[in-house]
Structure 1
C-alpha cells in the first residue's frame, strides 16, 4: 500500500468538490493528495503548484496528460484551461462560486481513481514530472547553459477556492454526531426563545373592553318625558308627556310588549275588524 502523510497547515482544505485527507507525493510542478467527495469513494487528486499554474505551457502539458488517460481513470477535473480535449466531459465548472478579480484563476487539478497502491502514486509522480520536464529526455545532445524553467522555484499551492465555507479547521465531512449536535443546539435556542416570550408577556396588564356608546332616542308618538333634573338652568318647565293628558300611557316608557288590545307608543290602533 502507498504511504500517506498528514496534511500541513498550508495545504488547502478542499479542492473542487473533494475534501483532502492526506498527502502522497510532491514535485516542483504540483502535489498529489488523497481526497474524497461527499458521499463518494477515495480518489487521488493532483493539484498544480503556483508556478506551473501560471505557465500556459505547463497547463497545456497537464491537460495533454489527462486527455491521454483512460476515461474510467479520470473521475473529475477542473481549473484553468481544463475544459477542452477528450476528457472535457469530466470538467466541473466553478463559475457559480463567488470570485474576486484580485485573485488568480483556479489552478488546474484532476481527481483520479485510487486503489491505495504504490503503482497509483507512481503514475501521479510520472504526470507531475512530465509537466516540469525534469524526467523528459533531451531531443539532442545538451550544449550550452543548463535549461531551467522560470517557475521551478514557485512550489506553493496553486489558487483554490472553498465554497461553501467550512467550519474553521474542518478537515472532513460532517458526520452524524455533528448533525445531532446541530439539531440539539437549534432545539435549545428555540426553547429559550419561547421561554423569553412567555416571561415578557405574562405580566402585561389586562385591557378593559370599551364601553358601548348609547344611541340617541328615536321614534314618534310618545317617547317618554325627559328628566326634569336635566332641564336648562333658566327654570323652564319641561314639556308634558303624553301621559299628562289622561292618556293610556304612563310617564315612564315601557320596553315591555303590549298585551291585549293595547298598543305601544307610536303604534297604530288595532283594527277590530281584522
Structure 2
C-alpha cells in the first residue's frame, strides 16, 4: 500500500450542517517502534508504508523539511532489496537527495531524505514540493518491492511474494549523538532531573544504612586460608587454652608455636615442627591442646 493509499484509507465523516469540515492530517502519528531520528532529521509523522519501507515527514535542526524513505526490517536484511534501493536512489536527481546513510552499513536499514520541501505556507508551490518528494519516495520503495515491474507474458502459477514481506517493522537504526535531552520539553527536563536526584538520594541512603549496620561487626576469626601456588597453606597456631585448674600466662616471646602445612586435596595433612619437652598433662604435651 502506497502513501497515497494509506492516507485515503483514513475514515472520513460528513460534518453536520453549520459545522466546519474536519481537516484530515497529512500524516499519521509515529508509533513507539518508529525511530525518533535518522541522520540529521527528526521524524514527525508517517506518510505511508508498504512491505518495502516507510515514508516519514521529517525536518532537521535548521528547519529544513524533507520526506524520509526507510526500509523495513525484512527488506533491509535482503542484499538484493538493498541493491534495488541504492539503484533507485542513484537514479533520482542530485538536487532531490538531501541526505542518505552509507550503503555499507549492513546492520542498519537504508534510508534517504528527499526534498527540498518548503514550510507549508498555504501556497500551491509548497504543496507541490511535498507531493513530488512523496512520489519520489514511493518510487524508491516500489523499486524495492518490484510491484511496478511490467508483466511479461501471461499470468501462470501462484502470485509472486517476497519471503520478507511479513517482517514489516522499521529496520534497525542508530542514533548518535543521542536525541535527548534536546528533544525534551522544559517540563520533561525538570522531571528527568528530579528523577536523577531522587535516585542519587536513595543510593546514598542505602549506603548509609549499610555502613551503620556493619560498622561494628566483629572481624572473622580465623581468617580465610589462601593457598599458595604450590597448593599448600601454612598456618601458625599459638596454643592459648590452658588445662582446667591452671593459670595461663600471657603469650610472650617464649610461647611455643606450631607451624601447620595444609594440603587441600585429597585430604588434609599436618606437618611441621611442634613443641617438645612438655610433661604429661602440661600444655603442649597433648596433641589436642595444640589447637
| Residues 2, 70 of structure 1: alpha-carbon distance in 2 compared, 3 angstrom cutoff | farther
1:164 equivalent in structure 2: 177
Query: Do structure 1's residue 128 and structure 2's residue 151 form an aligned pair?
Result: no
| Residues 173, 43 of structure 1: alpha-carbon distance in 2 compared, 3 angstrom cutoff | farther
Correspondent of 2:75 among 52, 68, 87: 52
Between Structure 1 and Structure 2, how many residues are aligned? 159
1:111 equivalent in structure 2: 113
Work out whether residues 45 and 112 of structure 1, in 8 Å CA contact, stay in contact via their aligned partners in 2. yes
DSSP-derived class of the 2:100 partner? strand
DSSP-derived class of the 1:72 partner? helix
CA deviation after TM superposition for structure 1 residue 39, in Å:
1.9
Distance 1:35 1:146 in 2: 35
Distance 1:74 1:54 in 2: 23
> Larger radius of gyration, structure 1 or 2?
1
Which structure would you say has the larger RCO, counting Cα contacts within 8 Å and 6 or more residues apart? 1
CA deviation after TM superposition for structure 1 residue 9, in Å:
1.4
1:68 equivalent in structure 2: 91
Runs of 5+ unmatched residues, structure 1: 83-103, 190-274
Runs of 5+ unmatched residues, structure 2: 1-23, 118-126, 198-291
DSSP-derived class of the 2:55 partner? strand
Correspondent of 1:17 among 10, 16, 40: 40
CA deviation after TM superposition for structure 1 residue 28, in Å:
0.7
Deviations 1:235-256 (A, max 9, x none): xxxxxxxxxxxxxxxxxxxxxx
Query: Do structure 1's residue 148 and structure 2's residue 171 form an aligned pair?
Result: no
| Residues 110, 2 of structure 1: alpha-carbon distance in 2 compared, 3 angstrom cutoff | farther
Please provide the CA RMSD for this pair. Answer: 3.0
